[in-house]
A = this chain, B = another copy of it.
């Protein structure tokens, strides 16, 4: 439990940095379970990179796979501050990630515990183990603060 919170704190730091860039504050780290090392870390980078696929989860998967020189990340666990969306859930399955630890649940856009529940279908060829609600309050608060500030700006404008 302590190590889960430790890794999630790094994911949270990436979410904070993303908010500073005007991105939806979601952060992720990918951990090599054989060494315990963080091998990739990123926040969302959709706007500044002009990349509709630039969610934190996708960015760490791509970083790590490029570094390791292989498209499958079998000995890796993902820590992400928000429940993955359907795109990211699909990518995590394709990449053969072992476990997903996420922070806040996302009833509006999640694809793991909500909506299409990507891992729940017989056609899903690899189902990562999923642990939700890790440091949920902090992970959710940064998102609430971000959207509240954005609504404030819209009201001011």
Interfacial residues, chain A to chain B (CB-CB below 8 A) = 46-47, 49-54, 58, 61-62, 65-66, 68-73, 85-91, 93-96, 107-111, 114-118, 120-125
SS class of chain A's interface: helix, strand, loop or mixed?
A: loop
Query: Which chain B positions have C-beta within 8 A of A120?
Result: 116
Query: Which chain B positions have C-beta within 8 A of A90?
Result: 85-90, 111
Q: A65 to B86, Cβ gap below 8 A?
A: no
Instruction: Using known A-B contacts A66-B51, A71-B50, determine if residue A123 contacts B115 with beta carbons closer than 8 Å.
Output: yes
Question: In the complex the two chains form, what is the Cα distance from A70 to B54 in whole Å?
Answer: 12
Question: In the complex the two chains form, what is the Cα distance from A66 to B52 in whole Å?
Answer: 9
Instruction: Using known A-B contacts A115-B121, A117-B116, A121-B115, determine if residue A71 contacts B51 with beta carbons closer than 8 Å.
Output: yes
Return A67 CB to nearest CB of chain B, in Å: 9
